[in-house]
Amino acid sequence: MSKLNEMRMYTWQSQGLNYVDANIGLKEKQDYNKDSQGQAIKELDDVFKAYEYGLSDQTKKENQEFRNFSIYRDVEGKNDFETIALRLDSENNILVTGIDINAHEGSESSFLITALGEGENLYLNSQVRVNVEKDAKVKLVVVTNFGKDSTNLQSINSIVGEDAVLDISYIEIGADYSIVNVKNILKGDRAQVIEDGIYFKEKDQFLDILANNDHYGNDTDSDAMFNGALKDNAHKNWKGVVDLKHGCSKADGKIGDYSMMFSDNVKNKTAPILLCTEKEVAGNHAASVGRLNKEMLFYIMSRGFDKKQAESMMLEATFSKALDKIEDESLRDELKETVHKMNTRN
């Protein structure tokens, strides 16, 4: 594989952000210890044919040819919360999965996708596709936490229809080498996307995220905010794109990334990008590196905490918005404890 997470328009060549040149991939299909669930949804396949999505053509091909686990959900009416567990370990260390969710008109649903694993040399190639039809509401939380020498390739894609709402969160705490693509296509008029993301990388971990919100419909609204922290020798690339297409009158897109750096050795590259071919729109993009609200920091320190303790408290408070969306209480508490341990500084 090569040129993963390639940007549609090259604008950051000098920073090396236009794509990731990666020599990774599988040579054959591996067994997995779970049986696939459901049947392929032709309606969803047909809707996604009109759009480009995914980390690259090569990763999509690998996902199709070597897939060893699939889940299909055709959602109607009001549904109970569901957890979709993707589990890797030393015996089942390679997972190539596809998850398709087709939310019919007026439906309501909530999904938690957990990509968790223990053991070394774990490999995940995951493709998630969500079709949110007219007036439907979908909440989707994706959590990733892997061990040493793990490779995480994730493509999370949505098409949001007229008056539909997608509340989506991506949470990554552990994975040594990670490339993630989140693409939301606001197709219908008044479609809405609420997007949160958090990441905490340490040691020599690498993370590349490309977050796209593409506006096609009129009066569409996207609000995306990523918060992260880097320590030791971690390396992170983040590219956030609001793409206001011709014809998306009165659309409003916001995207931002705020990173805290706890070491002089980390590498942090952030590129918020606004593309626009429509006149009557609003778009905002922002990035901040290593900055915290000075007034809040002073207030906490005035209560008897030193600067490092105050910074740690503020970081965990920032992460809590996304973490609190996890409806599995035990997993939510476990991740908060993990973040707290990673965040503890002498």
Provide the sign of the torsion angle of the four alpha carbons 36, 37, 38, 41, taken in this order: negative
Average per-residue pLDDT for the chain:
91
Q: How far apart are the first and last CA of the chain?
A: 41
Provide the pLDDT confidence category of residue 168 given band limits of 50, 70 and 90: very high
The pLDDT, as a whole number, for residue 131 is: 98
Lowest mean pLDDT among 24-33, 110-119, 178-187, 218-227: 24-33
Q: Residue 22 in contact with residue 16, Cβ under 8 Å?
A: no
Tell me what the mean pLDDT of segment 208-220 comes to: 97
φ, ψ (nearest 5 deg) of residue 148: -70, 145
* 112 beta partners: 83, 141
Provide the pLDDT confidence category of residue 242 given band limits of 50, 70 and 90: very high
Provide the pLDDT confidence category of residue 2 given band limits of 50, 70 and 90: confident
DSSP, res 304: T
User: Structure tokens of 158?
Assistant: 């949505």
Tell me what the mean pLDDT of segment 109-130 comes to: 95
Provide the pLDDT confidence category of residue 287 given band limits of 50, 70 and 90: low
Tell me what the mean pLDDT of segment 176-185 comes to: 97
Tell me what the mean pLDDT of segment 292-298 comes to: 70
Provide the pLDDT confidence category of residue 150 given band limits of 50, 70 and 90: very high
**168 contacts: CB under 8 Å, gap ≥ 6:** 139, 140, 141, 142, 156, 158, 182, 184, 193, 194, 195, 196
Lowest mean pLDDT among 18-32, 78-92, 209-223: 18-32
What confidence tens digit (pLDDT) does each residue in 56-99 have?
A: 999 999 999 999 999 999 999 999 999 999 999 988 999 999 99
Residue 48 has pLDDT above 70, yes or no: yes
Q: Where are the alpha helices (DSSP H) in the chain?
A: 42-48, 57-65, 294-301, 307-323, 329-343
Please name the residue that has the structure tokens 């040819």. Answer: 65
Lowest mean pLDDT among 59-73, 187-201, 273-287, 291-305: 291-305
Amino acid in the structure at residue 26: L
* Nearest alpha carbon to residue 239 among 201, 270, 194, 276: 270
The pLDDT, as a whole number, for residue 1 is: 57
Provide the pLDDT confidence category of residue 12 given band limits of 50, 70 and 90: low
Q: How far apart are CA 212 and CA 209, in angstroms?
A: 10
**Alpha carbon distances (Å) from 257 to 75, 84, 193, 283, 285:** 32, 27, 16, 15, 9
The pLDDT, as a whole number, for residue 238 is: 95
The pLDDT, as a whole number, for residue 288 is: 58
Tell me what the mean pLDDT of segment 274-281 comes to: 88
pTM over 0.85: yes
**Alpha carbon distances (Å) from 39 to 72, 329, 331:** 6, 30, 29
With pLDDT > 70 as the criterion, what percentage of the chain qualifies? 96
Lowest mean pLDDT among 15-24, 140-149, 232-241, 279-288: 279-288
Residue 311 has pLDDT above 80, yes or no: no
Provide the pLDDT confidence category of residue 221 given band limits of 50, 70 and 90: very high
The pLDDT, as a whole number, for residue 293 is: 64
Amino acid in the structure at residue 180: V
Tell me what the mean pLDDT of segment 185-206 comes to: 97
